[in-house]
Structure 1
């Protein structure tokens, strides 16, 4: 179904396998506008997955906070990290996300800091730690 189409997916059509490695702005916005069809483009779905990982292994949140602190653009825990260090911090803390959920998080928590695109990781940490 439609939920099988997301950045990072491999789909087979007529015996040929295709890797979906990129989506344009229109496609990403469409998927975000239809989270019932595209759950990996739903920030709450992605955050719930991260919350479940933290519930199973609470130390992951502390590891993530430390890794994000090291990736901080401001150097003094300003709370902003560029995309690649944000992804690396998630991986370092044991959060392995497919490309689409990662894109979803980065778009949802996107900010511009000193004219550089970044992720507001303090907001990410608060959202993960929030009880549902």
Structure 2
């Protein structure tokens, strides 16, 4: 009650109307937030926000990376690893978006193939198998294997922009570091020279491209 009412009860009736301190409320244990596995609808980052708040907000993004890499993507030609049957001839285009670290996979339609092609995987972030980490820029390069929707894709080729981008960023793509490769080839020149001479017993100075590649890979450690 207010001060005037409390004074009346105290002076006229001898009652103290000051409220007693409420007993302390027991602390309720906070339950841990359990995020269920993604059901495949929409993006996982957006779905997770619904589990963290009653008023979900868009997930935070790296604005600087978005501005620096807006519209940039790396495109690779991919094949299914250990494919059998009709899958042997299937060819896919894997696109990696540098501004958001997202992947998309598209299968170009081929006439009279019995397959209509189209989207194999919508643009989204993809987790590495058995890990909570997403595929990053350094994980996509020629020869890399990525797992999407339980399928293993091998990146076998890339467009010219992607090749130039990887060569311009050797700190991210060490296998595309031309200077490092040249140093390793020079250090192993003796072994490569002997192998090339063995492949060219007539001394013509010419070997088949596949033999030249095999000789370098056999002589230079770590060369792919």
TM-score by length of 2: 0.32
Name the one with the larger helix percent: 1
Larger Rg: 2
TM-score by length of 1: 0.49
